Chains A and B, each alone.
Chain A
Amino acid sequence: MAPVTFLEAVRQAIFEEMERDPAVVLLGEDVNVYGGAFKVTEGLLERFGWERVIDTPISESAIVGAACGMSYLGLRPIAEMQFIDFIVCAFNQITNFVAKGHYLWGAPAPMVIRGPSGGGVHGGPFHSANPETYFVHTPGLKVVYPSTPYDAKGLLKAAVRDNNPVLFFEHKFLYRRIKEEIPAGDYTVPLGKAVVRREGRDLTILSYAAMMHTSLEAADALAKEGVEAEVIDLRTLLPLDEETILQSVKKTNKCLVVHEDTKTGGIAGEIAAVLCEKAFGDLDGPVLRVTALDTPVPYAPPLEEYFLPNAQKVFNAAKELARY
């Protein structure tokens, strides 16, 4: 198999799930003839027809609401947000309607809401968002944010087959920048499981999505200075794989969390709290965070670069942590 891009892996997952199960349908803005703003859904209309690949008005609440209604019939809709920034237009529909149904009245909503997220591509304040933590705070949802083509495909397939609403974030910086050979044929990657990307004994770096690659880059530089960082890719943020996190921190005794989301209220704070509650005695130093600034995502390249975490910032924080 030739290596495929992250974007192609997502497309393959949708294609194969629609091929496998007639209950899988797709809806969103410009997903049909145009094939989606990023061409993720290109070719699906030709293969699966108008009933299964549905163009919608610019109405995110209606997209999510309609997908939820379809899921009540046992269908497994995949709803695309053209940019994940627009998901907040459907915030009420997702957090109050979709997420609470199973708890309150036993209504499972097997649906996926997916879309391109993240910065680093000069998309400006409304096309670069990382809104994952709004939804991590919502019981009833699952939140997935992969970093590799292999995971993107396997996790998306698992999300489609899950009986719960899954929010699936695709970092658009990775769409065409990374390639990976992935196995032919069907496979899934389980939701809720983190993975160790690089083993190390000195400190643990927890990350996900584009920042996972940044963290690996920093880990290579750290290794040259004799600091062996263990890098863990969280992959799913809700539910969080506490077991893998705790196992690593009990070994390294130090933890740095890296994410592209802004700092205050980001997932790093939650992880720090989990470590305080469950691994306080194992910690040799403070849990540190490398995140974006607490500002909107700025547009000009030097501003965005300053706003985003990068390998240097991760390296610096890790060096500081290694001193403990």
Chain B
Amino acid sequence: MSMQPTRQQHHDLYYYMKLNRAVEDTMVKLFRQNKIVGGLYSSLGQEAISVGTAYALERRDWMAPMIRNIGALLVKGVPPRDIFTQHMAKYTSPTRGKDGTSHFGDLENLHIVSPISMLGDLIPVMAGVAIGARYLGQKIVTMTWIGDGGSSTGVFHEGLNFAAVQKAPFVLILENNQWAYSTPVLRQAPIENLADRAKAYGIDSYVVDGNDVVAVYATAKEAVERARAGKGPILIEAKTMRMLGHAQHDPAEYVPKEMRAFWESRDPITLHEELLFSEKLLDAKGKQEIEAKIEALLEKDRELAENSPLPPPELAAEGVYCEGCHKIEPKWERPVAEVMPPKASTKPAWPATGYATGHGAARVAAQFIPAGADASGNGAGPLVRATSKGVALSRGKKKPIKPAASRRPGR
């Protein structure tokens, strides 16, 4: 299956990147007019990642954005007015003023899980959505994003590892924008490709140019379909650069001039526009039409947001608990009888049959499993000993040590 975009898809990708940038440009103006209540975080230069990855999802798939993934929200169907009202803390915002920025979600229709400021927490949550959906028989994929900085958290490891052992239909986009606030990526992790971490979880990974929206989309599409086909989670590292500071207050003077200049010359929207023009997929008139459409939409949504009221103060005391306001019903897409006794009943067994069949299995097995034993090492006495130089077969003279796999795990 070719993952290359069609003409219409090219237009969509271009439109959403332009919309992403225009929404943020509008918010910068609002910020300077003191109409944004809190901080404002920019995704300038990273639009291709938000848009290209989210565009690979189907409507029924689930996503959980990070704070800079405005483009992903737009692609999933969030109207710009929701983003404006969120930032302006309006009563009409998705959280009715209880939280700001892109911290909002929609379980029912758009299938968006809200982020929190603590990075990495979304990874196990979206692994859980993936596992839960599989259990319900829904053929969906879940996606979330993490930064180079966020990938240093413990829960990144916990979540991705759990997704991997569960073979969850889950795609993690590692947006390497090279700066965690002011800390360069090499002080976060001393490895060239953060995608290499996938090896530790036994999952597949890709590295992609995050400023090339076509490459991002094609890679994400392939990953999403592989995950949907049951091949387990996938990590995509998209390399890019955060072109502004951590937030509006940060001039980012720590970024070397040459580095900024290099990435300025690789603006994702300009690159895509050049491609569209050279391939005759878009002309000046088409571009103008898209820009006019965006301008009209944002003008209307900005006005609506500005004219919205702030929430009534008493709202602060409401909504901590669900006291019957939600009707909670899982959407089964498989026969429930499959998961209920007697059909669900099963004999318990230790799933150790695949022991030593993974990468490098033959070499490992040759060291650990004596001739005559089956794959789990049964059928032969413990013949393995560990030395400071590694593991070697015992000649039967020294006291044997049991292989690690047979030891009970302790805490």
The answer to whether A74 touches B158, judged by C-beta atoms less than 8 angstroms apart, is no
In the bound assembly, the distance between CA atoms of A92 and B323 in angstroms comes to 24
Write out the residue numbers on chain A whose beta carbons fall within 8 Å of the beta carbon of B98: 103-105
User: Ordered nearest first, which 5 A-B pairs have the shortest CB separation?
Assistant: A69-B128, A65-B124, A66-B128, A74-B330, A70-B132
Q: Kindly provide the distance from the CB of A245 to the nearest chain B CB, expressed in whole angstroms.
A: 20
The answer to whether B116 touches A97, judged by C-beta atoms less than 8 angstroms apart, is yes
Is A67 part of the binding interface, using a Cβ–Cβ cutoff of 8 Å?
yes
In the bound assembly, the distance between CA atoms of A72 and B131 in angstroms comes to 12
Among B319, B328, B332, B339, max chain A CB count under 10 A is at B328
26 contacts across the A-B interface (CB closer than 8 A): A23-B330, A32-B348, A33-B348, A33-B350, A51-B344, A54-B131, A62-B158, A62-B162, A65-B159, A66-B124, A66-B127, A66-B128, A66-B131, A66-B159, A69-B132, A72-B125, A72-B129, A73-B132, A73-B138, A92-B155, A102-B321, A105-B95, A140-B320, A140-B321, A163-B328, A164-B321
The answer to whether B155 touches A62, judged by C-beta atoms less than 8 angstroms apart, is yes
CB-nearest residue of chain B to A56? B162
The answer to whether A97 touches B162, judged by C-beta atoms less than 8 angstroms apart, is no
CB-nearest residue of chain B to A35? B348
Q: Kindly provide the distance from the CB of A63 to the nearest chain B CB, expressed in whole angstroms.
A: 8
In the bound assembly, the distance between CA atoms of A110 and B325 in angstroms comes to 13
Q: Given the interface contacts A51-B135, A56-B162, A108-B328, does A61 sit within 8 Å of B128 by beta carbon? A: no
Write out the residue numbers on chain A whose beta carbons fall within 8 Å of the beta carbon of B114: 101, 104-105, 107
A160-172, CB under 8 A of B: which get 1 and which 0? Answer: 0001100000000
The answer to whether A57 touches B349, judged by C-beta atoms less than 8 angstroms apart, is no
The answer to whether A51 touches B121, judged by C-beta atoms less than 8 angstroms apart, is no
| Contact residue among A64, A139, A163 (Cβ-Cβ distance under 8 Å from B326) | A163
Chain A, range 111-140, C-beta contacts under 8 Å to B = 139-140
The answer to whether A49 touches B121, judged by C-beta atoms less than 8 angstroms apart, is no
The answer to whether A70 touches B346, judged by C-beta atoms less than 8 angstroms apart, is no
Chain A, range 141-178, C-beta contacts under 8 Å to B = 142, 163-164
Q: Given the interface contacts A103-B320, A104-B98, does A61 sit within 8 Å of B121 by beta carbon? A: yes
CB-nearest residue of chain B to A110? B328
| Contact residue among B162, B322, B339 (Cβ-Cβ distance under 8 Å from A163) | B322
Is B21 part of the binding interface, using a Cβ–Cβ cutoff of 8 Å?
no
| Contact residue among B128, B159, B320, B341 (Cβ-Cβ distance under 8 Å from A102) | B320
The answer to whether A25 touches B94, judged by C-beta atoms less than 8 angstroms apart, is no
Is B284 part of the binding interface, using a Cβ–Cβ cutoff of 8 Å?
no
Is B161 part of the binding interface, using a Cβ–Cβ cutoff of 8 Å?
yes
Identify the B interface with A (CB < 8 A): 94-95, 98-99, 103-105, 107, 113-114, 116-118, 121, 123-133, 135-136, 138, 142, 154-155, 158-159, 161-162, 165-166, 319-326, 328-332, 336, 339-341, 344-350, 409, 411
The answer to whether B135 touches A75, judged by C-beta atoms less than 8 angstroms apart, is yes
Q: Kindly provide the distance from the CB of B284 to the nearest chain A CB, expressed in whole angstroms.
A: 42
- Interface 9-residue window, one of A40-48, A207-215, A254-262: A40-48
In the bound assembly, the distance between CA atoms of A153 and B223 in angstroms comes to 45
Write out the residue numbers on chain A whose beta carbons fall within 8 Å of the beta carbon of B105: 105, 107
The answer to whether B326 touches A108, judged by C-beta atoms less than 8 angstroms apart, is yes
Chain A, range 278-315, C-beta contacts under 8 Å to B = none
Among A32, A60, A105, A164, max chain B CB count under 10 A is at A105
| Contact residue among A19, A75, A102 (Cβ-Cβ distance under 8 Å from B330) | A75
The answer to whether A72 touches B158, judged by C-beta atoms less than 8 angstroms apart, is no
Q: Given the interface contacts A25-B135, A57-B158, A96-B116, does A104 sit within 8 Å of B125 by beta carbon? A: no
Q: Kindly provide the distance from the CB of B78 to the nearest chain A CB, expressed in whole angstroms.
A: 13
Write out the residue numbers on chain B whose beta carbons fall within 8 Å of the beta carbon of A56: 162
The answer to whether A107 touches B107, judged by C-beta atoms less than 8 angstroms apart, is yes
The answer to whether B347 touches A46, judged by C-beta atoms less than 8 angstroms apart, is yes
In the bound assembly, the distance between CA atoms of A50 and B158 in angstroms comes to 21
Is A273 part of the binding interface, using a Cβ–Cβ cutoff of 8 Å?
no
In the bound assembly, the distance between CA atoms of A54 and B124 in angstroms comes to 14
Is A188 part of the binding interface, using a Cβ–Cβ cutoff of 8 Å?
no
Q: Kindly provide the distance from the CB of B278 to the nearest chain A CB, expressed in whole angstroms.
A: 43
Chain A, range 47-101, C-beta contacts under 8 Å to B = 47-52, 54, 56-70, 72-75, 77, 92-93, 96-97, 100-101
The answer to whether B127 touches A50, judged by C-beta atoms less than 8 angstroms apart, is no
| Contact residue among A23, A25, A62, A105 (Cβ-Cβ distance under 8 Å from B104) | A105
In the bound assembly, the distance between CA atoms of A16 and B243 in angstroms comes to 56
Extra contacts, 20 of them, besides A61-B124, A62-B155 (Cβ < 8 A), are: A22-B339, A33-B349, A33-B350, A52-B339, A57-B161, A62-B161, A64-B124, A65-B125, A66-B131, A69-B124, A70-B129, A70-B131, A73-B138, A75-B135, A92-B121, A96-B117, A103-B98, A104-B104, A140-B320, A164-B321
Q: Kindly provide the distance from the CB of A312 to the nearest chain B CB, expressed in whole angstroms.
A: 35
CB-nearest residue of chain A to B411? A58
Write out the residue numbers on chain B whose beta carbons fall within 8 Å of the beta carbon of A49: 339, 344-346
Is A106 part of the binding interface, using a Cβ–Cβ cutoff of 8 Å?
yes
The answer to whether A73 touches B136, judged by C-beta atoms less than 8 angstroms apart, is yes
Q: Given the interface contacts A49-B339, A70-B131, A104-B114, does A65 sit within 8 Å of B155 by beta carbon? A: yes
A219-260, CB under 8 A of B: which get 1 and which 0? Answer: 000000000000000000000000000000000000000000
Write out the residue numbers on chain B whose beta carbons fall within 8 Å of the beta carbon of A70: 128-129, 131-132, 135
In the bound assembly, the distance between CA atoms of A49 and B342 in angstroms comes to 10
CB-nearest residue of chain A to B350? A33
Q: Given the interface contacts A65-B155, A73-B331, A75-B132, does A104 sit within 8 Å of B344 by beta carbon? A: no
CB-nearest residue of chain B to A108? B322
Q: Kindly provide the distance from the CB of A290 to the nearest chain B CB, expressed in whole angstroms.
A: 31
The answer to whether A46 touches B345, judged by C-beta atoms less than 8 angstroms apart, is yes
The answer to whether A106 touches B319, judged by C-beta atoms less than 8 angstroms apart, is yes
The answer to whether B322 touches A45, judged by C-beta atoms less than 8 angstroms apart, is no
Q: Kindly provide the distance from the CB of A158 to the nearest chain B CB, expressed in whole angstroms.
A: 14
Write out the residue numbers on chain A whose beta carbons fall within 8 Å of the beta carbon of B131: 54, 66, 69-70
Q: Kindly provide the distance from the CB of A46 to the nearest chain B CB, expressed in whole angstroms.
A: 6
CB-nearest residue of chain A to B332? A22
Q: Given the interface contacts A59-B162, A62-B159, A104-B95, does A67 sit within 8 Å of B128 by beta carbon? A: yes
Q: Given the interface contacts A62-B161, A73-B136, A73-B331, does A46 sit within 8 Å of B348 by beta carbon? A: yes
